[in-house]
Chain A
Amino acid sequence: MFEVVAQGEGPLFRDPDADKAREFFRHKKRSLVNKVTSVKEAVDLFVHDEDYLSIGGLGTNRIPTAVCHEIVRQKKKNLIIAGHTSTHDFQILAAGEVFNRCDIAYIIGLEARGLSPNAWRYMESGKVQCCEWTNYSLALRFKAAAMGISFLPGRSVMGTDTFKHSAAKVVQCPYTGQLYCLFPALWPDVSAIHVHEADIYGNARLKGITVADLELARASKHLIVTCERLIRNEEIRNDPSSTAIPYYLVDAVCEVPYGSYPGNMPYEYFSDEEHLKLWMEMEKNPEKFKKFLDQYIYGTKDFNEYLELCGGIQRLNELRAQEHLIELNGKE
């Protein structure tokens, strides 16, 4: 049908066959059952060595930090990850060296904060096999998967070295003759998304920008949802237009208050820039960083302990005030 005009030489880590994906989703459970569990158990059950993993939110915003920590704590290995809108989440996963393959849109950096020294070392170590993409093209790969089709066309990436090192293909439009870049569907084995509210079945709501999470939730074979708070199913049913993720996509629901810390959670709390700086500072020296990880991740049994180490309720209250633009220290 389409003649391939050009193709990238990057590796395709997962099969984009839509019929195989349908076969999986045919058997995915749809029953309305209580899925509330601990982060520890959710990661133990749904994240396996060699899995393709994707993390929701945007790097330091509405991220499922507790799941990232637990994946490191449980020493998962040889994961493939989507370096999509990833920053602090990537930093955590790189600290645990849990992945050895990566689809890259944006990695290593923490935007205006600079580059993570440890993630940088890890990516330059030669231990990670890479494929290049862009933010939109990776989002389109999730969108294609969510639609149940094997690719979607787009008009970026073409003409660049990013294309050369991707697994995209360029074809001619049968209607207009124009060139389009095709992006293969990507069905992650497991994803984790942090939201504001969910019921025990997994019906989930979020506030603010959705980033690529609506697509990601629908593309993922397994989905762990962490939420700021559990709500009753009745609340979901009284306002169904607010539901972003329906329960049948979800495998585990974990209530993790402040679950995006040290990231920002819109309308709840701002990012902890001091703590993010501490990560960057510790990472400069591998010995110090090892101790830091021992104390903050390997040495904590769960996310609550981490929050306590980082200043607990007092610090979190400051971040709540910051999010709501409330000046705590005098002035007006």
Chain B
Amino acid sequence: MTDYNTMEMMIIAAARNLEDGATVGVGTGAPCAASMLAQKTHAPKLVIMFEAGGISPLLPTMPISVGDSRTFYKGVMASGMCDIMETAQRGMVDYTFLGGAQIDMYGNLNSTVIGDWHRPKVRFPGSGGANDFASFCWRIMVITPQDRKRFVEKVSFITTPGYLDGPGARERAGLPAHTGPYKVITNMAILGYDEKTRRMRVESIHQGYTIEQVQENCGFPLLKAQQIIKTPLPTKDELEILRNQVDPNRYIIGR
């Protein structure tokens, strides 16, 4: 078998969840690498959108910023923020791919503060476009390494909506119907959400990890899917394309 690191595993698992022809709103970093990898493997017609206005670029290299010139390189349009977000609000963006400092069992994300908002222990950047994308896009995917500091019972601050406090809460709050968290891809597993309770559940475990380890590295009880599968190993092709074409400078996979 081929050797790979956890970041490579996460990006490859994430890429496999994007189907050809879908539209995806992405940020920089791992989400962007996953989208690029999907585009260069099974999903050549994947439409990548950046919140600052880039539409469907043929990414020559990994963008450093959601607004740098790579984000609309050979794209179909160089548009603007309102147009992208309104395309999503209209219902035309299938996925968004996000990160976050903290996530809870309903997929709510915190990227604003740790501690009390008025006198925060730690201040983070804030929503950026994450709250908007997560409100508008049909399915929210999150890529983040897993530990008890990140996967918490209750986030200090809901920056970006997951299922809020459970079934029906998004709709009650006024968010567009039938939207919400879909997958969380970690270094250990692929997590999804239970349809009834909207709580996070284990669906697939990466090779080399056990369900006990997945639970130990999570600050709340995880539900289990009826059938938990083993995540297929990264293929030689996936690894080669990721290393040679997507991230040759190892900006992301070298982390």
Contacts and interface: CB of A to CB of B under 8 A. Distances in A.
A139 B135 contact: no
B22 interface: no
Interface in B172-207: 172-176
A156 B132 contact: yes
B54 interface: yes
A108 B68 contact: no
B69 A111 contact: no
Nearest to B125: A109
A120 interface: yes
B68 A271 contact: yes
Nearest to A109: B125
A120 B54 CA distance: 29
B34 to A, nearest CB: 14
Contacts of B119: 126
B131 interface: yes
Nearest to A152: B82
Interface in A62-95: 62, 83, 85, 87
Nearest to B169: A159
A106 B127 contact: yes
Contacts of B53: 208-211
B76 interface: no
Contact of A159 (B27, B50, B64, B175): B175
A155 B60 CA distance: 34
Contacts of A133: 127
B72 A208 contact: yes
Given A140-B82, A158-B135, A135 B69 contact: no
B33 to A, nearest CB: 10
B82 A215 contact: yes
Interface residues of A, number: 64
A225 interface: no
Contacts of B136: 155-156
Max chain B Cβ within 10 angstroms of own Cβ: one of A60, A159, A208? A159
Contact of B129 (A109, A135, A209, A271): A135
B100 interface: no
A235 interface: no
B179 to A, nearest CB: 10
B85 A162 contact: no
B173 A162 contact: no
A137 B169 CA distance: 21
Contact of A266 (B69, B135, B176): B69
Given A135-B127, A208-B72, A214 B89 contact: no
A239 B114 CA distance: 52
Contact of B131 (A87, A123, A134): A134
A113 B175 contact: no
Interface of A: 57-62, 83, 85, 87, 104-109, 111-113, 115, 120, 123-124, 126, 132-137, 139-140, 143, 154-162, 165, 170, 178-181, 207-215, 264, 266-267, 270-271, 273, 323, 325
Interface of B: 27-29, 50-54, 60-61, 64-69, 71-72, 78-82, 85, 89, 108, 112, 117, 119-120, 122-132, 134-136, 157-161, 164, 169-170, 172-176, 251
13 contacts: A59-B65, A61-B68, A105-B127, A109-B124, A112-B29, A158-B175, A160-B131, A161-B117, A162-B159, A178-B174, A208-B69, A211-B80, A264-B68
